């Protein structure tokens, strides 16, 4: 059985589903391939939590995807601490914006995007696993496990850091192993967080506390590879005690509400993002260190620009527009990879001169309103 679409998106995570929803609002016949469509989890709190920029939230809201069952908390302020007394603060009130970011759970946002897809009714969802890709000059096709052949003018790889479609296309990665893992967990807090996100640059890694609704936070602790097993093996009370102590008990005592989990941290960048009839976006094209909380935001900015550049109609797989898209996205991604990688190396270093420099840099930035505003303008996109 053969089916044909203008665009086929492989991967029903956040970026893939949002892109399919946006393309479905246009003139395209769109399909989304995801073997395991999500449902709202019965787990009380999802340990996978992301920060979303206000511009991306506005975009998702316009698509109908930032609604129930999304459970989100605005970030009103950020407090960043160096390992030698350096400090940097951002406040929404000072910046003249309602919030600096939003924090939301991966699973609930993914489920909300799928609900928006169903309500829109213009995207065909295919709950099958692709078995092979067939490349052709007049268009490409995917062969599914159930025997169907799905042809498209444009194939979109939105299937994550280990992208199957990228591998089928034979596209290599430039990769750097940070020799760290991100340890994540959620906690109840003794004191209210008041919408403040905290970050500590420590010599043993970077610890971030992200506000959740109520007296709850989610953490990401960038942890050296040799320390991960130890931290995951701590009993719940000991893990909560260590996290509270590492954050200077800024919110009092903590109580663990989701078991900790870990994921390896690597910088990845596909050597090609586009080919005729093929585009990679989100984690399939690039990943960054989580210390700036910008990974998923980069993916949504990929989606927003791609939809904008395809809005004129015509063949969505035409290489001219896809190359123009890649050229416009490369600076944003490269600068974020350079910045986050550089900060990781700067703070994960025992050189006393660098220790002074990094903390002095935080203090200096905190005193320069124009520089803080410039940093915020990029973060709010």
The residue with greater pLDDT, 184 or 204, is 184
What is the average pLDDT score of the chain?
A: 89
What is the per-residue pLDDT for 351? 52
What is the per-residue pLDDT for 137? 76
Q: Is residue 348 very low, low, confident or very high in pLDDT (cuts 50, 70, 90)? A: low
What is the per-residue pLDDT for 201? 85
Over residues 47-61, mean pLDDT: 95
* pLDDT tens column, 229-277: 999 999 999 999 999 999 999 999 999 999 999 999 888 999 999 999 9
Residue pair 76/103 in contact (Cβ under 8 Å)? The answer is: no
* pLDDT tens column, 35-44: 999 887 767 8
| Residue ranges covered by each domain of the chain | 2-43+106-175+267-344
What is the per-residue pLDDT for 291? 62
Beta bridge partners of 142: 133, 150
What is the per-residue pLDDT for 380? 74
For residues 263 and 173, what is the distance between their CA atoms, to the nearest angstrom? 19
Sign of the four-CA dihedral 207, 211, 215, 219? negative
Torsion angle of the four alpha carbons 137, 138, 142, 143, in this order, in degrees rounded to the nearest 10: -90
- Diameter over CA atoms, the chain: 66
Q: Is residue 178 very low, low, confident or very high in pLDDT (cuts 50, 70, 90)? A: confident
Over residues 354-379, mean pLDDT: 63
What is the per-residue pLDDT for 369? 73
**Helix or strand or coil: residue 213?**
coil
* pLDDT winner (highest mean) among 148-162, 258-272, 286-300: 148-162
Over residues 354-366, mean pLDDT: 59
Of 87-96, 280-289, 314-323, give the lowest mean pLDDT range.
Answer: 87-96
What is the per-residue pLDDT for 289? 74
Q: Is the pLDDT of residue 314 over 90?
A: no
Q: Is residue 325 very low, low, confident or very high in pLDDT (cuts 50, 70, 90)? A: very high
Q: Is residue 366 very low, low, confident or very high in pLDDT (cuts 50, 70, 90)? A: low
What is the per-residue pLDDT for 233? 96
Residue pair 51/102 in contact (Cβ under 8 Å)? The answer is: yes
Over residues 10-26, mean pLDDT: 97
Closest CA to 183 of 258, 262, 292, 247: 262
Beta bridge partners of 77: 91, 196
For residues 221 and 226, what is the distance between their CA atoms, to the nearest angstrom? 14
Q: Is residue 131 very low, low, confident or very high in pLDDT (cuts 50, 70, 90)? A: very high
* pLDDT winner (highest mean) among 194-203, 232-241, 280-289, 336-345: 232-241
What is the per-residue pLDDT for 356? 53
Over residues 317-341, mean pLDDT: 85
Prediction pTM value = 0.92
Over residues 15-23, mean pLDDT: 98
What is the per-residue pLDDT for 359? 62
What is the per-residue pLDDT for 44? 83
For residues 54 and 115, what is the distance between their CA atoms, to the nearest angstrom? 21
Structure tokens at 336: 């974020």
CATH superfamily of this structure's domain 2-43+106-175+267-344: FAD/NAD(P)-binding domain (3.50.50.60)
Of 72-76, 80-84, 304-308, 352-356, give the lowest mean pLDDT range.
Answer: 352-356
């Amino acid at each position: 059985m053969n089916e044909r679409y203008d665009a086929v998106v492989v991967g029903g995570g956040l970026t893939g589903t949002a892109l399919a929803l946006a393309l479905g609002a246009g003139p395209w016949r769109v399909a989304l391939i995801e073997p395991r469509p999500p449902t709202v989890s019965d787990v009380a709190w999802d340990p996978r939590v992301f920060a979303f920029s206000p511009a991306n939230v506005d975009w998702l809201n316009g698509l109908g995807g930032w609604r129930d069952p999304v459970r989100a908390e605005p970030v009103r302020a950020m407090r960043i601490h160096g390992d030698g007394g350096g400090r940097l603060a951002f406040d929404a009130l000072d910046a003249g914006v309602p919030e600096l970011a939003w924090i939301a759970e991966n699973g609930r946002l993914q489920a909300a995007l799928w609900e928006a897809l169903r309500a829109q009714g213009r995207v065909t969802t295919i709950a099958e696993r692709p078995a092979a890709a067939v490349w052709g000059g007049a268009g490409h096709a995917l062969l599914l496990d159930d025997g169907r052949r799905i042809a498209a003018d444009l194939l979109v790889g939105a299937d994550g850091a280990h992208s199957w479609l990228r591998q089928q296309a034979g596209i290599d990665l430039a990769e750097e192993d940070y020799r760290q893992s991100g340890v994540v967990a959620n906690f109840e807090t003794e004191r209210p967080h008041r919408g403040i996100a905290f970050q500590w640059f420590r010599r043993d890694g970077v610890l971030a506390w992200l506000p959740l609704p109520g007296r709850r936070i989610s953490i990401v602790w960038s942890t050296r590879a040799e320390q991960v097993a130890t931290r995951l093996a701590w009993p719940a009370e000991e893990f909560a005690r260590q996290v509270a102590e590492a954050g200077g008990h800024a919110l009092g005592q903590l109580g663990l509400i989701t078991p900790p989990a870990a994921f390896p941290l690597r910088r990845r960048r596909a050597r090609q993002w586009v080919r005729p009839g093929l585009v990679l976006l989100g984690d399939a094209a690039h990943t960054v260190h989580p210390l700036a909380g910008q990974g998923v935001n980069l993916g949504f900015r990929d989606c927003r620009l791609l939809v904008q550049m395809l809005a004129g109609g015509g063949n969505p797989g035409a290489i001219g527009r896809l190359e123009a898209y890649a050229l416009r996205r490369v600076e944003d991604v490269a600068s974020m990879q350079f910045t986050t990688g550089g900060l990781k190396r700067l703070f994960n270093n025992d050189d006393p001169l660098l220790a002074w420099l990094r903390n002095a840099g935080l203090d200096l930035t905190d005193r320069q309103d124009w520089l803080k505003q410039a940093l915020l303008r990029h973060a709010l996109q």
